[in-house]
Amino acid sequence: KLSQLIMDNQDELSILDCLDVGKTSQDCYIYDVPGTSELLQWSAEAIDKIMDEIAPTGNNDLAMIRKVPLGVIGAVVPWNYPLNMAMWKLAPALATGNSVILKPAEQSPLSALRLAELAIEAGLPEGVLNVLPGFGEITGKAIGLHNDIDCVAFTGSTEVGKYFLEYSGKSNMKQIWLECGGKSPNIIFNSSKRLDEAAELAAFGGFFNQGEVCSANSRVLVQKDILNDFLKLLKTETDNWLPGDPLDPKSKIGCLVTEEHALRVKKYITNAKKETELIYEAKNFDRQSVGTFVAPTIFMDESASKEISNEEVFGPVLTVIPFEKEEDAIRIANGTKYALAGSLWTDDLSQAHRLSNEIHVGALSINTVDAFSSMTPFGGFKQSGFGNDLSLHSFDKYSGLKTVWIKY
């Protein structure tokens, strides 16, 4: 019922997220709200297909392995996909029988508050879903340190993810699951015959949602002998990604979440202009100095060592990194502190399989970018965190195993 109510309120929820964070109302309407509704429905439909187990002990014993709810889950989420990120935690946590305290990001509390009202309307018992808006250092920290919260599922920056590990150690050793930052590689091999599509999706992978995406394919690794051809295509594609009014359905991207964040992104761009080669800057974009608009920008960093190639910018900025051989691509792709997602383009089946072993990320897309669904796990390694959202595996984060052994 809640899933249906979310769709019944598609207009309002889309506008709330658009007004809060500056992403386009169109994207919220087409992707965020239906995705949120679909995941809740999928999780509710999945939960009664999961059985407990009986271990093969002797004839005089019955050993049951039960999955039990953990109790109270704290869900602390970011602002880039306010509704989706909330539901990535809520759906499996509620389906597995827990109560949840959801803390939306301080920049984007509106849709979470509306969701709480819809949950009551849908008949969820009071107290099962609690939405507690507040600042990170106050409310988020209080959740992290609370002795009656059994588990925190966090999505956000690596820096704050590490705080949650500390909060847990300083309080009740609550379980912590972390979905943190990324600097995902998108590797274009010369064996790919789909350069047009690769360029189109490289632009999408870098600029969609203003580049405010944890799995944004922000490093584009291109094999040297196709570099010039690919760059021509990429630049043409990038012309399509100029920001516009977030409320205008024709806008492909909107503006960044806050002035503070826009300044941070612009500082990365200014620094990169000193350290690397600027290869694309929007022409005739008269909003660049207005409010929180930032136009798509592309740099080239042959060394792959500069700040712009290694730090998570969380804005519409791509770095192109040329490479010669497959082993160079693997080394560069794996060479950051993050290991969240990645993409690669090849028509060579053996190369695809080989690289699927070698590229160390939680989600690898081959001949597309950023592929995911409710059915497939999404999570990372290294300082991208641990524990998966989405898929049946996400249910494990919110359940404990309990052995009940009966002797006849």
How many alpha carbons lie under 13 Å from residue 182 in its C-beta half-sphere?
34
**Can residue 78 be called a binding residue for ligand NAD (CB under 6 A)?**
yes
Candidates 24-32, 110-118, 180-188, 366-374: pick the segment binding ligand NAD (CB under 6 A): 180-188
User: Considering the complex, what minimum distance in angstroms separates the CB of residue 359 from ligand NAD?
Assistant: 17
Residue among 191, 269, 188 nearest 234 (CA):
188
Query: How many Å apart are CA 17 and CA 32, to the nearest integer?
Result: 9
**Can residue 181 be called a binding residue for ligand NAD (CB under 6 A)?**
yes
**For ligand NAD, which is the closer residue by CB, 230 or 338?**
338
**Can residue 179 be called a binding residue for ligand NAD (CB under 6 A)?**
yes
Catalytic member of 18, 28, 151, 179: 179
Is residue 214 part of the annotated active site? The answer reads yes
Binds ligand NAD (CB under 6 A): choice among 2, 90, 100, 105:
105
Q: How far is CA 372 from CA 209, 378, 391, in A?
A: 16, 7, 10
Candidates 121-129, 177-185, 202-210, 364-372: pick the segment binding ligand NAD (CB under 6 A): 177-185
Name the H helices within 96-157.
Answer: 110-122, 141-145
User: Considering the complex, what minimum distance in angstroms separates the CB of residue 4 from ligand NAD?
Assistant: 26
Please tell me whether residue 53 adopts helix, strand or coil conformation: strand
**Can residue 339 be called a binding residue for ligand NAD (CB under 6 A)?**
no
Can you state the angle between helices 349-358 and 326-333, rounded to 10 degrees?
A: 30
**For ligand NAD, which is the closer residue by CB, 172 or 240?**
172
Candidates 21-29, 150-158, 232-240, 276-284: pick the segment binding ligand NAD (CB under 6 A): 150-158
**Can residue 214 be called a binding residue for ligand NAD (CB under 6 A)?**
yes
Candidates 2-10, 26-34, 62-70, 135-143: pick the segment binding ligand NAD (CB under 6 A): 135-143
- Beginning with the edge strand found earlier in the chain, give each strand of the sheet holding 53-55 in spatial order: 53-55, 61-69, 399-407
Binds ligand NAD (CB under 6 A): choice among 141, 174, 306, 397:
141
Assess contact for 373 and 390: CB atoms under 8 A. yes
**For ligand NAD, which is the closer residue by CB, 312 or 370?**
312
Strand partners, 351: none
User: Considering the complex, what minimum distance in angstroms separates the CB of residue 370 from ligand NAD?
Assistant: 11
**Can residue 94 be called a binding residue for ligand NAD (CB under 6 A)?**
no
Give 380-395 as a DSSP string: -EETTEES-BSTTHHH
Find how far residue 89's CA is from the centre of its chain.
Answer: 12
**Can residue 151 be called a binding residue for ligand NAD (CB under 6 A)?**
no
Q: How far is CA 181 from CA 72, 212, 245, 258, 368, in A?
A: 25, 11, 27, 19, 21
Residue among 318, 310, 354 nearest 222 (CA):
318
**Can residue 211 be called a binding residue for ligand NAD (CB under 6 A)?**
no
**Can residue 317 be called a binding residue for ligand NAD (CB under 6 A)?**
no
Please tell me whether residue 108 adopts helix, strand or coil conformation: coil
Binding mask 265-294 for ligand NAD (x = CB under 6 A): ------------------------------
The three-point CA angle 374-379-380 to 5° equals 160
Which are the catalytic amino acids? 179, 214
Interface contacts to ligand NAD, rule CB under 6 A = 76-80, 85, 103, 105-106, 136-137, 140-141, 144, 155-157, 160, 163, 179-182, 214, 312, 314, 340
